[in-house]
């Protein structure tokens, strides 16, 4: 597995969701209701081990090439590259999921197979041009039925996906990942000509 430069020589990789929730309250009854908007996305914060100038050069060049957020690069969660079930295959999505869906109906999995456990990651999308893959969290243990179908429980689809034929996989896709844009980075000079570097990036929807 070739690990992208963004995930080499790291000391901490933090993933979290940002979700804009709109809250409304009736001035008459006082009832409160909430709804989520379409800008739910992943954010990654990465801190790197101390580096010499030579060691830091390729990473600093990659940061510069992102042009302060105008570029796109791909990340995955290295701690969840493979589900705890050990399953590394794909299934087909029966119908394009919509924003807010918490279940994705799929088929063409191996029959009667444990696919993933609660808290594992799955990938939803397709390998078109450009490829579109979204990393989702599985909210309960899931296995396929005797005919290879499965209803995948996910946290929430953050945006509509194209109507193209799509797949769901349970392992890192080897070269793709979450499309990200750089939102901030820092470089601190340390004694002995060494550097401390960190970046923060958010999912590009």
What CATH number did the domain enclosing 198 receive? 3.30.200
pLDDT for res 21: 74
Residue of 126, 91, 127 lying closest to 106 (CA atoms) = 91
Q: What is the pLDDT of residue 163?
A: 60
The residues, any chain, with a CB within 8 Å of residue 41's CB and separated by 6 or more, are 17, 18, 158, 202, 203, 205
Among 26-35, 67-76, 131-140, 172-181, the range scoring the smallest mean pLDDT is 172-181
pLDDT at residue 1 is higher than 60: no
pLDDT at site 18: 82
Whether residues 99 and 139 share a domain: the answer is yes
Top pLDDT among 79 and 10 is at 10
CA angle, 113 then 114 then 115, to 5°:
100
Report the pLDDT averaged over residues 48-71.
92
- What is the tally of structural domains in the chain? 2
Same domain (yes/no): 161, 92: yes
Q: Which domain holds residue 23?
A: 5-76+178-203
pLDDT value, residue 164 = 63
Q: pLDDT grade, residue 175 (50/70/90)?
A: low
115: closest CA among 78, 80, 79, 141?
141
Same domain assignment for residues 92 and 52: no
25 — pLDDT class (breaks 50, 70, 90): confident
pLDDT tens, position by position, 32-53? 887 766 667 889 999 999 999 9
């Amino acid at each position: 597995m070739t690990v992208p430069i963004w995930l080499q020589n790291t000391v901490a990789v933090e993933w979290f969701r940002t979700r804009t929730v709109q809250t409304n309250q009736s001035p008459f009854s006082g009832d409160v209701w909430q709804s989520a908007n379409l800008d739910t996305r992943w954010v990654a914060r990465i801190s790197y081990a101390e580096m010499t100038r030579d060691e830091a050069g390729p990473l600093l060049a990659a940061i510069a090439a992102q042009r302060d957020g105008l570029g796109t690069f791909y990340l995955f969660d290295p701690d969840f590259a493979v589900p705890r079930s050990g399953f590394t295959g794909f299934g087909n999505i029966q119908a394009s999921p919509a924003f807010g869906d918490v279940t994705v109906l799929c088929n063409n999995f191996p029959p009667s197979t444990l696919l993933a456990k609660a808290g594992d990651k799955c990938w939803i999308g397709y390998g078109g041009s450009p490829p579109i893959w979204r990393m989702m969290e599985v909210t309960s243990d899931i296995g396929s039925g005797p005919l290879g179908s499965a209803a995948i429980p996910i946290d929430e689809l953050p945006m509509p996906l194209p109507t193209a034929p799509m797949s769901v996989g349970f392992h890192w896709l080897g070269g793709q990942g979450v499309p990200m844009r750089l939102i901030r980075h820092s470089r601190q000079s340390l004694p002995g000509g060494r550097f401390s570097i960190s970046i923060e990036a958010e999912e590009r929807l």
